[in-house]
Structure 1
Amino acid sequence: MSAFLPVPPAERRGGRRLWRFLEWTLQADVAPDRPPVRHRFRCAGEYEDGQPCEEEGPVCDDFAEAQRWAYRHLKVHQDHRSYEHVAVTPWLMVPAEEPSP
């Protein structure tokens, strides 16, 4: 994929902006200091009247901890057996070449 990136203000001429076309790649952040992957489970079950439950557990760094919420929810609502796993994973936009200042 490609995107336009404005040229820094020092390179503006006569009140007009210059634009440079750069190639970008969207990729998962695998750096050791990246933010942690976060997990949450959401109930996809329905109440007897057909209304969706949509209750959500807490956002957790630990996947097993996030899963425990679904088991606790099932104890209270034994017919709510469908869940969605929501994960927040750090990603980065990386240019094919770094823009020059």
Structure 2
Amino acid sequence: MKLQHILMAVTALAAAGLSQAQPADPLQVRSWAAACAACHGTQGHAQPGMIALAGTPQEVIVQKMLDFKAGRLPAATVMHQLAKGYSDEQITAIAGYFAAQKK
């Protein structure tokens, strides 16, 4: 009986540790952000005619990505499909990366 209580406590602690979000590895975030380079330019410095992401506030990018992901924006680009491939946490990390880049 005592062993069962110990096992339950260990399991609960392990689950609590797993449920806390771990900060994303900076190299991983850069690799996610690199997928944006084809359209938005290296490090978010876009070519004329495309939206530059560098220096855009994180919350603006997050909201746009979540709107694309939820289908709240017109499907005029591939963004609605691309956004669905990222978790909300990944979107936040990518947005933070671009927000930190100089315009």
The alignment's TM-score, normalised by the length of structure 1, stands at 0.25
Structure ID, larger Rg: 1
Structure with the bigger percentage of helix: 2
The alignment's TM-score, normalised by the length of structure 2, stands at 0.25
